[in-house]
């Protein structure tokens, strides 16, 4: 795996013409941002990509799930209150 900076890519986009796996790093913060893998490896990665997309979807919708769950609890408690009257 070859490490490149974001500015390296903008200066030399031909880097991606090589059959390499790249770790793209923000050189100022020294944090890894992305991993670029040639597309001919996609069949090997499809299950992993699906799992990542599902987890991202869950994260985006977690708050909505929690709010829906809390509102259902409120509805259940409301029904019990009416039943006890």
Tell me the pLDDT tens digit for each residue of 41-62.
999 999 999 999 999 998 888 8
Same domain, 44 and 70: yes
Whole-structure pTM value:
0.59
Given this model, what pLDDT does residue 15 score? 86
How many structural domains are present in the chain? 2
Taking CA atoms, 54 is separated from 21, 37, 61, in Å, by 24, 20, 10
Q: Write down the H helix ranges in 12-41.
A: none
pLDDT at residue 10 above 60? yes
Q: Are residues 52 and 27 in the same domain?
A: no
Mean pLDDT over 19-26 rounds to 92
Between 48 and 78, the higher pLDDT residue: 48
Are residues 51 and 78 located together in one domain of the fold? Answer: yes
For the residues 67-72, what does the mean pLDDT come to?
Answer: 71
Higher pLDDT, 77 or 10: 10
Q: Indicate if 49 and 83 belong to the same structural domain.
A: yes
Residue 16 belongs to what domain range? 1-37
């Amino acid at each position: 795996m070859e490490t490149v900076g974001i500015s390296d890519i903008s200066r030399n986009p031909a880097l991606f013409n090589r059959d390499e796996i790249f770790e793209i790093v923000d050189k100022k913060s020294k944090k890894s941002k992305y991993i670029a893998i040639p597309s001919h490896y996609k069949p090997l990665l499809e299950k992993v990509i699906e799992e990542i997309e599902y987890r991202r979807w869950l994260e985006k919708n977690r708050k909505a799930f929690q709010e829906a769950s809390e509102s259902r609890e409120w509805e259940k408690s409301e029904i019990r209150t009416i039943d006890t009257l």
